[in-house]
Homo-oligomer: A and B are copies of this chain.
């Protein structure tokens, strides 16, 4: 079924925010055999009219995001009703939900908020469990003179759209889509290998598997290998990948590297403490993003200053003055200090120079040491060099720290 996504939002076209809806919707609808054929972004306001009219002539399913809010440039609801020749009516049940939400959170209702309870006649309301504006579904109308596809109007904020999509849009799609496709996708996530190395290891061999569509996506410290095809072909490809890449693949079910690490620690009933200098809390943040991490993650020590390294982790001040805070010796002492102080199975530490810092010839900006102290297995230190911007540097340093830990958990 021809599927189009229309994203409204001047902020997208001004570069204030990235469009995360497209990726989210694409992933959610794929298992139903649906793929997005075209995506369009238009500014808030009347431009939605042309985009919607053009898309209605082409598509069988249209998802529109944004423009359902309370402000004056939110006119998706009105334009849709107008294009479909439907009257807008005030929906008392929606209004009650909006009022109850405001009361629960201690917000005062304004006149503008009430507009969000206007519903085109015949539309199905998609409840918004995380915001005021409900979504709307208008079924395809084969009796209509103009072509009238299935139309979903969804709220702009991702934390409102995403749960609504899973709870209320997917069940409707399952009714609409004639039969779920036999085509599946699998994404193998690989750490510690560059894109060309991954392709060299498996590319030629995978070309020998007929009926698969292959895609590579390189991210900081990670390569994602996408395979689309029917199950037997996917299995054949999977066997090649397992044989050639083995432990470099950290997930094939979408799990993140931090999820893989927390899963392994939980299974082994082991615990972790981290000591961070240059990654400044990002390592702890990634781990604590995983539900259930509190069972394995004991403590994080964000020791930006040398004094904090001494006081919190017992790093000998002579190490710092002799070798510098960014050194193999200090990384080692930090990891061992974190492990000891928190009585954890593992201590994982980072120390390095993020841009725009002061590097030296010996230790230029981008240098980072990662140390892993393990109960009974001693301490390993690795040196990396990521001459990148600050966010990429933190991403790469934490990625490689998590991968060092994961590899040792496989042993």
* Residues of A bordering B, CB below 8 Å: 9-20, 22-27, 30, 35-44, 47, 51, 69-73, 105, 107-108, 110, 112-113, 130, 157, 159, 163, 185, 187, 194-197, 199-200, 203, 214-220, 224, 226, 274, 276, 279-285, 287-289, 291, 293-294, 297-305, 307-308, 311-312, 341-343, 355-356, 385, 388-392, 394
Q: Are B217 and A17 in contact (CB under 8 A)?
A: yes
Q: Are B289 and A298 in contact (CB under 8 A)?
A: no
**A342 contacts across to B, CB distance below 8 A:** 308, 311
Q: List 10 A-B contacts (CB under 8 A).
A: A14-B27, A15-B23, A16-B23, A17-B217, A107-B196, A110-B199, A281-B284, A281-B300, A282-B285, A312-B341
**A307 contacts across to B, CB distance below 8 A:** 298, 343
Q: Identify A71's interface contact among B73, B216, B305, CB under 8 A.
A: B216
Q: Are A51 and B22 in contact (CB under 8 A)?
A: no
Known interface pairs A15-B22, A215-B11, A281-B282; A298-B288 also in contact (CB < 8 Å): no
Q: Identify A197's interface contact among B108, B217, B343, CB under 8 A.
A: B108
**A26 contacts across to B, CB distance below 8 A:** 13-15
**Count of chain copies:** 2
**A30 contacts across to B, CB distance below 8 A:** 14-15
Q: Are A388 and B18 in contact (CB under 8 A)?
A: no
Known interface pairs A14-B226, A23-B16; A299-B302 also in contact (CB < 8 Å): yes
A113 to B194, CA, bound (A): 12
A217 to B43, CA, bound (A): 13
**A196 contacts across to B, CB distance below 8 A:** 70, 107, 110, 112-113
10 nearest interchain CB pairs?
A: A280-B288, A281-B284, A300-B302, A15-B26, A15-B23, A281-B281, A281-B285, A299-B308, A15-B27, A39-B41
Q: Are B291 and A280 in contact (CB under 8 A)?
A: no
Determine how close the nearest CB of chain B comes to the CB of A56; give it in whole angstroms: 16
Residue of B nearest to A228 (CB): B14
